[in-house]
């Protein structure tokens, strides 16, 4: 049993090393399509020039097999673990950590991880409680799905939370989101994806906002009420005129996605997580025998 676990642990580490670099080099097709559509509909001269530069940036990265952005971020993983997957979550975490370190050294990638007080570098994009891993456990399944979303500081710095008053209703949510995006201006490298988390508790709303940015661009929440709010906010945010890189224009955001959870009757937490134009994400499915299949989403 220990031999099998070791082999599986190595397979997870190998997959994580590939996943981190792949996410940083090759942005998803749905995002490419959204950026192309944004370039076509932008009427501002500075905004159109920015979108042309972004388009060339993607082409150069692909042609030279290089990164789309110098800020390689910190690795954030979401794991869906089957109850019969033959590796304990503690060892899955070790494998993800090893894979992140290997990717940083072997590529090499910029090491961004520092102690939060001393600011001393803590290693090859690893450190205390780094990388960050979120968990979901699936009954009656023997697989493992891992999604990697590298998160750079330019966009991550533009994260906001408000414990809204329930009596403010939907208008209160809209007002907070608009204030957040207008205040962010060009700092998160727009046009990007605005992820919004509503409900649950304060910490869970922030998690939901992060989940929202990882959806394929333009997908809608299955709850029709939430989907309508996504559409309304998408329109309102693009009416702000902030434009690409904050230089003014028609396209401020590529899309607005919302994830939600039921909450307490006196609570209405709302979180905003702004993802930059690169919106990097990649996923892998690992079978019980260690075989890996890479894809954009699971």
The structure's pTM equals 0.93
Note whether 184 and 116 are same-domain residues.
Answer: no
Residue 41 lies in a domain: no
Note whether 114 and 202 are same-domain residues.
Answer: no
What pLDDT sits at residue 6? 54
Residue 88 lies in a domain: yes
Residue 164 lies in a domain: yes
Note whether 252 and 195 are same-domain residues.
Answer: yes
Note whether 139 and 166 are same-domain residues.
Answer: no
Q: Determine contact, residues 138/274, Cβ cutoff 8 Å.
A: no
Note whether 138 and 195 are same-domain residues.
Answer: no
Residue 31 lies in a domain: no
Note whether 136 and 227 are same-domain residues.
Answer: no
SS3 78: strand
> 119 phi and psi, to 5 degrees?
65, 20
SS (H, E, C) 245-289: HHCCCCCCEEEEEEEEECCCCCCCEEEEEEECCCCCCEEEEECCC
User: Which residues of the chain carry a pLDDT beneath 70?
Assistant: 1-6
Residue 164's CATH number: 3.30.1330
Residue 38 lies in a domain: no
Residue 53 lies in a domain: no
Note whether 172 and 106 are same-domain residues.
Answer: no
Count of structural domains, the chain: 2
What pLDDT sits at residue 275? 94
Domain that holds residue 252: 153-275
């Amino acid at each position: 049993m220990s031999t099998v676990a070791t082999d599986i642990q190595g397979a997870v580490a190998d997959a994580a090393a590939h996943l981190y670099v792949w996410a940083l080099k090759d942005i998803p097709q749905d995002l490419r399509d959204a950026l192309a559509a944004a370039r076509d509909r932008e009427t501002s001269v500075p905004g159109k020039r920015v979108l042309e530069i972004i388009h060339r940036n993607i082409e150069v990265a692909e042609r030279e097999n290089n990164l789309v952005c110098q800020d390689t971020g910190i690795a954030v993983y979401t794991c869906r673990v089957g109850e019969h997957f033959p590796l304990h979550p503690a060892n899955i975490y070790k494998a993800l950590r090893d894979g992140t370190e290997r990717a940083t050294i072997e590529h090499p990638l910029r090491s961004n991880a520092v102690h939060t007080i001393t600011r001393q570098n803590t290693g090859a994009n690893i450190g205390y409680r780094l990388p960050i891993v979120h968990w979901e456990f699936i009954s009656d399944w023997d697989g493992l799905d891992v999604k990697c979303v590298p998160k750079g500081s330019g966009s991550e710095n533009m994260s906001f939370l408000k414990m809204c008053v329930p009596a403010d209703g939907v208008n209160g949510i809209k007002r907070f989101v608009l204030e957040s995006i207008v205040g962010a201006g060009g700092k998160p490298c727009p046009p990007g994806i605005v992820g919004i988390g509503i409900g649950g508790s304060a910490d869970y709303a922030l998690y939901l906002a992060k989940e929202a940015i990882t959806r394929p661009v333009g997908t809608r929440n299955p709850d029709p009420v939430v989907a309508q709010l996504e559409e309304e906010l998408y329109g309102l945010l693009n009416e702000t005129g902030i434009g690409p890189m904050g230089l003014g224009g028609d396209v401020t955001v590529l899309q607005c996605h919302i994830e939600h959870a039921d909450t307490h009757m006196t609570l209405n937490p709302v979180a905003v997580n702004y993802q930059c134009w690169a919106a990097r994400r990649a996923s892998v499915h690992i079978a019980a025998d260690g075989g890996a299949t890479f894809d954009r989403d699971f």
